[in-house]
């Protein structure tokens, strides 16, 4: 499943809310796009996830403009003002809420079992605001892929929570290796840390979702 943003933009001129961007994400090959303006990360995520049409450019899924299919198969993860959990919630509370949204058992035992499976059992009582960025990305992405029909993720600015870029990048790579299509909207500074091979979907192996 290949998601491509081809010269998409919102607004015009140097002060455009979303200056022109292009990116590609595919199974086995995560995609990355760097943006800087205040509103750009959220706008880029909304456009990439099929929740908003750009003023210019094209967003395609496997070569076709299919907004409904993109919206159905891609989850927005940690997108400010759109899909960002309350910082005061504990990890267990976030897990229970997301399990319920996915139509799964959301009692304490079910949440505890999930957190144990993804290596976050020791953080059940940790507030989301205090969770290291790598673990935050692990938590929110693993919860997102539990939703029915989700085969892709649009992750928004994980670097804003601090920590080492390599930490959350490892989580993104792991998801891609498991067959999910992952596009990360990040900062230009973080883009300098990401290896060129990570941004080229034609050089990475493909795999099927587990």
* pLDDT of amino acid 142: 98
Q: Residue 44's pLDDT band (boundaries 50, 70, 90)?
A: very high
Computed over every residue of the chain, the mean pLDDT equals 92
Domain boundaries, given as residue ranges, for the chain: 3-85+148-199
Angle at 27 between CA 62 and CA 58, to 5 degrees: 35
- pLDDT: which is higher, 183 or 204: 183
pLDDT at site 195: 65
pLDDT digits (tens, 9 = 90+) for 96-120: 999 999 999 999 999 999 999 999 9
Q: What's the pLDDT score for residue 79? A: 97
pLDDT digits (tens, 9 = 90+) for 128-180: 999 999 999 999 999 999 999 999 999 999 999 999 999 999 999 999 999 99
pLDDT at position 198, please? 59
CB proximity list for 205: less than 8 A, separation 6 or greater:
28
Kindly report, residue by residue over 78-102, the tens digit of the pLDDT. Answer: 999 999 999 999 999 999 999 999 9
Task: Take residue 144 and report the two structure tokens written for it.
Answer: 């997102």
Superfamily for the 3-85+148-199 domain? P-loop containing nucleotide triphosphate hydrolases (3.40.50.300)
pLDDT band (50, 70, 90) for residue 209: very low
3-state secondary structure the chain: CCEEEEEEEECCCCCCCEEEEEEEEECCECEEEECCCCCHHHHHHHHHCCCCCCCEEEEEECCECCHHHHHHHEEEECCCCCCCCCCCCEHHHHHHHHHHHCCCCCCHHHHHHHHHHCCCHHHCCCEHHHCCHHHHHHHHHHHHCCCCCCCEEEEECHHHHCCCHHHHHHHHHHHHHCCCEEEEEECHHHHCCCCHHHHCCCCCCCCCCC
CB 6 within 8 A of CB 60: yes
Q: Give residue 197's pLDDT.
A: 53
Determine what percent of the chain is predicted with pLDDT higher than 70. Answer: 92
């Amino acid at each position: 499943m290949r998601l491509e943003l081809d010269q998409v933009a919102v607004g015009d001129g140097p002060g455009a809310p979303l200056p022109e961007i292009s990116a590609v994400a595919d199974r086995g090959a995560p995609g990355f796009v760097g943006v800087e303006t205040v509103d750009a990360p959220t706008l880029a995520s909304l456009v990439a996830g099929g929740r908003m049409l750009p003023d210019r450019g094209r967003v395609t899924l496997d070569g076709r403009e299919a907004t409904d299919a993109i919206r159905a198969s891609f989850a927005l993860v940690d997108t400010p003002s759109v899909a960002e959990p309350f910082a005061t919630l504990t990890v267990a509370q976030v897990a229970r809420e997301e399990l319920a949204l996915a139509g799964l058992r959301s009692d304490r035992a079910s949440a505890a079992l999930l957190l144990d499976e993804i290596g976050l059992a020791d953080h059940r009582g940790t507030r989301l605001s205090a969770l290291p960025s790598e673990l935050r990305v692990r938590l929110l992405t693993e919860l997102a892929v539990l939703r029915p029909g989700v085969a892709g993720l649009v992750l928004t600015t994980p670097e804003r929570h601090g920590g080492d870029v390599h930490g959350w990048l490892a989580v993104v790579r792991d998801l891609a290796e498991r067959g999910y299509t992952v596009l990360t909207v990040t900062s230009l500074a973080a883009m300098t840390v990401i290896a060129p091979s990570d941004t080229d979907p034609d050089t990475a192996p493909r795999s099927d979702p587990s």
